[in-house]
Amino acid sequence: MTGNLDYALLIGAAVLLVAVAAVRLSTRLGLPSLLVYLLIGVVIGESGLGIRFDDADLTRTLGFCALLMIIAEGGLTARWSTLRPVLGLASTLATVGVAVSIAIVGVVVHLVLGLDWRLALLYGAVLSSTDAAAVFATLRRLRLPPRLVATLEAESGMNDAPVVLLVVLLAAAGPFAHPWWYELLIVGYELAVGAAIGLSVGVIGRWLLRHAALPSAGLYPIAAVGLTVLAYAAGAVAHASGFLAVYVAGVVLGNARLPHRRAILGFADGLAWLAQIGLFVLLGLLASPSRLSDALVPALVVGCALILLARPLSVLVSAVLARSVRRLGWRGQTFLSWAGLRGAVPIVLATIPLSAGTPGAEGLFDAVFVLVIIFTLVQAGTLAPVARWLRITAPHEAAEVRVEIAPLEHMGADLLQIDVAPGSRLAGVHIDELRLPVGAAVTLVVRAGSGFVPDPYTRLRTGDALLIVATAAARDVAERRLRAVSRRGRLARWFGEEGRAD
């Protein structure tokens, strides 16, 4: 028994370290890391090193746990200032857009592949959810308008909830127990109650973390992640959407002025990476390469229906209903249509009918696995060129402002860090030309590994890092001013540049 455990730990640690090292390799090659993790799972599986794994129930359970961590990290790192303007569009995409996508894919699969309506709609439901891990990992490497990034991240964080409910409903054996309008009401109830539970847990947890005065800084990240898990469990016990509860609780906690906030976000980021690695390797183990060739044609049919019809129409309908057509424009709608990435979520959802013994579930799992591999390569690899072709990139945008509250919490101030990235018009600007508001001041400039206190005539250079202390009242104004100068230079105000996030 002890020997088996030792071998399991040896293999697990080796896989984890290889996966971590593969992130750097995949970044250099421009490949999504999730494909590398899937490949690792296939290599050590039955067709490679011979490790046989076919427990769909365990995969589904562990997959849900991993998704919980990934969605929690997405909520914790989401900025409410960027999320609020796109909340209407993102929630419409996560509900109405999902329904449109399921309907279109279901019709195409029924007519082209000849599958019965229930299985055809199950294909649509499994593939209608964009993947939080794929979206978060891919979009944050690109310099895109914050509004588009926030829309895609919020959609991927929210659309898992209704999709899980629909997949469970369609995968159930026998006829539907209730009429369609009753099931629709149940879905509405689960989403509304899940959001309410997540909001309640987030607000209460925010108050507790502010006033708990825990004896160790390392306890704050554990407590914050524990609160998101509590939100999921409370939602599940109340027969509501646990995933939506996790995301809402994460957003509330992530935007609060919590002690050791950077440590909390760093811990959540590490857990999310660990969850992604474990999830994708496990899914690669579950796949059977000998069957995947037979799933190629169904995967291509479903994928073309999804990417050419279902996704563009769902974006268009959602934009119309959310009154965002004019704001997005055709460029934004086109990018939203192309950037609806699928990753581990559809494969995890495909394990639900597989474990339930739904007829045709094995073919569904194989088709989804093949589709995710093909379209992740195609979509994720072309996002940057498509963004440049649509002319929606933001090459002069300042790097993300990172805030650590703990050292200055008793002073009511924040510590901001700005990196002068290549192409930023902050380069060449003197400190006094930043025109920061009263209550904000550049306290340190780090250049070539050495830090110094600047004077008003210090000229910024590419590669500099600025540490800025700002009072709570001046922080937002300071961020907007820095963003404006990064885009248009010292004469930003002359050009009417206000530095808003959108």
3-class secondary structure for 158-212? Answer: HCHHHHHHHHHHHHCCCCCCCCHHHHHHHHHHHHHHHHHHHHHHHHHHHHHHHHC
* DSSP one-letter code for 398: P
Which one has a higher pLDDT value, 253 or 216? Answer: 253
Percent with pLDDT over 90 in the chain: 5
Q: Which residues contact 232 (CB under 8 A, 6 or more apart)?
A: 68, 242, 243, 245, 246
Distance, CA of 309 to CA of 374 (rounded, Å): 18
Domains of the chain: 2-390 (1.20.1530.20), 402-491 (3.30.70.1450)
Which segment of 97-106, 379-388, 409-418 scores lowest on mean pLDDT?
409-418
Residue 17 token pair: 């370290």
Torsion sign across C-alpha atoms 291, 294, 296, 302: negative
Q: Please tell me the predicted confidence (pLDDT) of residue 402.
A: 47
Pair 95, 126: CB distance under 8 Å: no
Query: Residue 405: what pLDDT?
Result: 45
Q: Which two tokens stand for residue 241?
A: 């959407």
- Residue 202: band (very low, low, confident or very high) from pLDDT cuts 50, 70, 90: very high
257-286 pLDDT, tens digit per residue, is 888 777 888 888 888 888 888 887 887 777
pTM listed for this prediction: 0.70
Please state, in angstroms and as integers, the Cα–Cα distance from residue 105 to each residue in 122, 265, 293, 296, 308, following that order: 9, 37, 21, 17, 10
What's residue 396's pLDDT? 47
pLDDT of residue 403: 45
**Lowest mean pLDDT, pick from 20-29, 223-232, 381-390, 405-414:** 405-414
Whether 220 and 214 have beta carbons less than 8 Å apart is answered as yes
Per-residue pLDDT tens over the stretch 153-175: 778 777 777 787 788 888 776 66
Angle CA(157)–CA(148)–CA(89) in degrees, nearest 5? 60
- Say whether pLDDT at 397 is over 60: no
Looking at the DSSP bridge assignments, the partners of residue 231 are none
pLDDT confidence of residue 497? 66
- Partner residues linked to 441 by β-bridges: 469
Q: Quick: pLDDT tens for 480-496.
A: 888 888 887 777 777 56
